[in-house]
Structure 1
Amino acid sequence: MFKILSTTSLNICIASLCRVKNLKNAEAVLIDGIRVGILPDVVTYNTLIDGYCRLFGIDSGYSVLGRMMEAGIHPNVITYNTLLSCASRYRLLYQSLDIFDEMLQVGILPDVWSYNILMHCFFKVGKPDEAYRVFKDIFLRNIYPSPATFNIMFTGLCKNWYTDNALMLLRNLQRNGFRPELVTYNILIDGLCKSGKWRTVKGLLKEILDYGHIPNAITYTTVMKCCFKNKMFNEGLEIFSEMKAKGYTFDGFAYCTVAGALLRTGRIEEANQCMGNMFRSGIDLDMVCYNTLINLYCKEGKLEDAFGLLDEVEKMGLECDIYTHTILIDGLCKAGNIQGAQRHLKYLNKVGFGTNLVAFNSFIDGLCKLGQIEYAMQVFESMKVKDEFTYSSIVQGLCSAGRFHLAARLLLCCVRSGVRILRSDKKAVIRGLRFTGFGPQAKKVQSNIRLAKLLHY
């Protein structure tokens, strides 16, 4: 009895040291234990394998396995699951398969977690078909799946943009008696929201209630973000009100999401109230919160307050991200302070942010809206990297200046370089050419865009 308790105490000490990443002392405790006659067991070595895997990687974990077998202690399924988890964490698919094969060769039968980890690894490396085969293999081998098995499957399918397949799988499982948990619905709702399938999301929300589940803060926040992403601002704000009425607590991210949506719809006063509620809730502000506040000040035209908040952030030791500076550049442009925006772009390069595409897009957009199209074209030509938003800003600026032929040439250049064009830009160019009496040219531009798309794709 004393020996069992002593080994247990040894394992607790080693586990505690591994948890704080102090493997040197963990090894010292193991040596001291053996010296006084307390022999390690499989749990001891499994704990060490996990510690080495987390801190140094799979090879270090394998070296402990070698020591374990030299000590005459046989590994078990937990040993190999620990190694599998490490390989999966680093997306080492082939090593995961080797570990799985080795487990079978030494006569250790994989359990449901072995299959869960392998399935998760396939998803992480973008192989959903292979993951699904592992999922089917669980049933073929008469292993009872855990709730995590299903959730890994649904999460993996959604993250690999197979949301339709995830929904079909849910329906197939339900026909065989599967009752989804709320967390399962949350996973599916998140995936469907990201795919823009709002109608299906509404159906799942009703289904949650039919199953007797009560939507939680994660459910509501996910749906709320989906509404804002799809520009369904009123629906999103209704969900926010419903959450408040039900007494759910909010984190800073939820408040900032709502405030950001209100700002995009020009409801600055309501955004102010939302941020005020966040302050009164005593939430610790992170960089996302400060970015939202800076954006609010810029929308209100309070640039001095925005830059004052930037100084406050830096004094607190928080690191401003590129979005902070992009918001400020956008605010300076909208205030007509192009020189200030230009100075801030130079400052970004000076402090190590380099040439940032989002910041330059904001600068070009600001120049176009102020009618400084020639300067905007100079900046556009100087940029080495461009995306659809760069082209969109300059095309819309050219259309506003009545220079539809140049805008049409840029659209074609955009398609030929493999960059997606926005429908609104194409419509602005075609409509502009027609209204200025260049109908045949408009048809030719449409035809050329269609041909360029076919040749590229």
Structure 2
Amino acid sequence: MVCKLSTRLMNICISSYCKLQQLGKAESIIIDAIRLGTLPDVVTYNTLVSAYCRFVDLDSGYSILNRMKEAKIPPNVITYNSLLSSASKHLLHSKCIELFNEMLKLQITPDVWTYNILIHCFFRLGNPEEANKTFHDITNIHNLSPCVTTYNTMFNGLCKNGYTHHALTLYKNLKKNGFIFELITYNILIDALYKSGRLRAARMVFKELQESGLSPNANTYTTLMKYLFNSKQLKQGIELFHEMNTKGYTFDAFPYCTVASALSKTGNLQEARTFFNIMDQKGITRDIVSYNIFLNIYCIEGRIEEARDLFHKIQELGLKCDQYTHTTLVDGYCRARRFDEALNHLRYMDTLGFDSNLIAYNCMVDRLCKAGDVNGGLEFYKRMKVKDCYTYTSMVHNLCNGGQYLMASKVLLACLNRGMKVLRVTQRVVVKGLQNSGLYSDARKVQSKIRLARFLH
């Protein structure tokens, strides 16, 4: 009896040190306890597995299994759930599947949380069919009851993999059977339905949220606000922001940035500043998104010196400038026709290790052409190692504006040969320009290539 109480006390102490991330002290308690004759149990090791996975890495957590084996204490479902959760958190989804199979070999019976993690991993691996099969196996084969997290994992995974219709069908079936949803479920569905263009279904789910007795939160309102702004319903979006404010949901920078961004994109720069002033008055700390929007406003207004000063201020404040920050500044230099400074900053961006600075390069090409230096834009375009459909479309459009239809046709064909799309109106402008220039043979050749590209792609 004394030994059991001592082991329980030891586990409480170990858990406390693990929560404080003092793993060395937790380990020393185990050493002292063993010296005094109190042996660790599965709870002791599970606490260590969870802590090492959370605060160090998956391999460190997994190494505890060797110690369990030496102590002749078999791992259980809680042990492996901690390992699975860590693998999922660190995006090691294939490792997650390996751990699950290892668990089955050891004849450890999974629980509903094991399957929740597994379903999430299958979705992240782009395998929704296997995720759906696992979901149905929970009840049909393993005789377990899915929990709210299971359903939310399904809703989120189906929506993100493009199966919004299936998510909506699952929602309707559960609702028909009297299932009580959490607010997060409604938020997942509303966001996905708006993004997929199913506006009527999104409004239906929002109405059912209101009828459920649950109150929309900041995420719900922000989702609706973004939809209204994207569909150019600026007035309704601002009204919704004021409703959020009345209900006390404007406690951080995000809703203010959403409104300010929408206003700046529609040219309402003074109104955008007003929202930043309100943020400052309320003592809400500006984040990098806030500064990015303000930087963009300066660039649009041509106040490039102030934009550069703001960029340096962001760095002095210790905020990490993201790709959008640097791209905005490059575009600002280009707008001010200070292309040498834009090029220098582009070269600096290339040293920062971003995945791709393509948007900034596209800005450079387009702004050079719009400044009247189409040949300069073309030379820069030729030096670009990576191009997308916007690069080609912009170059074709600017060459046509400069009357260089033959070169525009070559850029257009290069784009089509890579399976990329160019707007049909741009294609017609190239063909028409060639015909008007008397280049009928080239026009026919381009038309033939366009028809072939449509057939192949």
Q: What is the TM-score normalised by the length of structure 2?
A: 0.89
Superposition pairs for residues 281-320 of structure 1, below 5 Å?
Answer: 281-320=282-321
- Tell me which residue corresponds to 2:77: 77
Q: How does 1:166-181 map to 2 (within 5 A)?
A: 166-181=167-182
Corresponding residue pairs, total:
456
Deviations 1:228-250 (A, max 9, x none): 44555444334323323433224
- The answer for the alignment partner of 1:247 in structure 2 is 248
Within 2, Cα distance between the matches of 1:259 and 1:437?
50
2:45 is aligned with what amino acid? Y
Q: What is the CA distance between 1:103 and its match in structure 2?
A: 4.0
Partner of 2:15: 15
Check whether the contact 2:115–2:138 (CA below 8 A) recurs between aligned residues: yes
Evaluate the alpha carbon distance shift between residue 148 and residue 352 of structure 1 in structure 2; reply closer, same or farther with a 3 A threshold.
closer
**Amino acid in the other structure paired with 2:39:** L
- Runs of at least 5 residues in structure 2 that lack an aligned partner in the other structure: none
Aligned residue for 1:68? Answer: 68
Report how far residue 50 of structure 1 moved: 1.5
Alpha-carbon displacement from aligned partner over 1:52-98 (angstroms, at most 9, x marks no partner): 33355444434322322432434332122222223333455555445
The 3 A distance-change label for structure 1 pair 329 and 109 is closer
Counterpart residue number, 1:148: 149
Matched, 1:183 2:216: no
Please state how far the C-alpha of 1:211 moved relative to its aligned partner: 2.7
**Counterpart amino acid of 2:324?**
Y
Query: Which stretch shifts more, 253-262 or 336-345?
Result: 336-345
Residue aligned with 1:145, SS: coil
Identity rate, percent:
50
Provide the rounded CA distance (Å) in 2 between the counterparts of 1:438 and 1:236. 51
CA deviation string 1:347-374 (max 9, x = no partner): 4456777982221111112112222211
- Asked if the contact 1:348/1:354 (under 8 Å) is kept, the reply is no
Per mean C-alpha deviation after superposition, the further-off stretch among 43-52 and 12-21 is 12-21
Q: Given the superposition, is the C-alpha separation of residues 432 and 7 from structure 1 closer, same or farther in structure 2, using an over 3 Å criterion?
A: farther
Query: 2:164 corresponds to which residue?
Result: 163
Cα distance change of structure 1 residues 250 and 369 upon mapping to structure 2, 3 Å threshold: farther
Instruction: Specify the code of the residue in structure 2 equivalent to 1:325.
Output: H
Distance 1:422 1:280, change over 3 A: farther
1:4-39 deviation per Cα after TM superposition (whole angstroms, max 9, x unaligned): 443333223322333344433322211111212333
- Kept in 2, the 8 Å contact 1:49–1:64? The answer is yes
Q: Contact conserved, 1:416 with 1:453, CA < 8 A, in 2? A: no
User: Structure 1's 415 and 224: CA in aligned 2 closer, same or farther, altered over 3 A?
Assistant: farther
Q: Corresponding residue for 2:215?
A: 214
Query: 296-305 vs 229-238, which deviates more?
Result: 229-238
> Hey, what's the Cα distance between the residues in 2 that align with 1:183 and 1:427?
47
Query: Match of 1:396?
Result: 397
Spell out, residue by residue over 1:361-388, the C-alpha distance to the aligned partner (whole angstroms, 9 max, x if none): 1111211222221111111111111112
**Larger CA deviation: 72-81 vs 264-273:** 72-81
Number of the residue aligned with 2:6: 6
Question: Which secondary structure state, in structure 2, belongs to the residue aligned with residue 7 of structure 1?
Answer: helix
Q: How far apart, in 2, do the equivalents of 1:102 and 1:354 lie?
A: 35
Q: Is the 8 A contact 1:368 1:376 kept in 2?
A: yes
Distance 1:353 1:42 in 2: 44
The answer to whether the Cα contact below 8 Å between 2:419 and 2:453 also exists between their aligned partners in 1 is no
Which runs of structure 2 are paired with 1:240-389 in the superposition (5 Å)?
A: 240-349=241-350, 356-389=357-390
- Structure 1's 128 and 423: CA in aligned 2 closer, same or farther, altered over 3 A? same
What whole-Å deviation, never above 9, does each CA across 1:381-431 have from its counterpart, x for those lacking one? 111111122122222212322334433332221121133324564465467
When the two chains are superposed, the root-mean-square deviation of aligned CA atoms in Å is: 3.0
Aligned pair in 2 of structure 1 residues 350, 68: CA closer, same or farther (>3 Å)? closer
**Distance in structure 1 (CA, Å) of the matches to 2:397 and 2:311:** 32
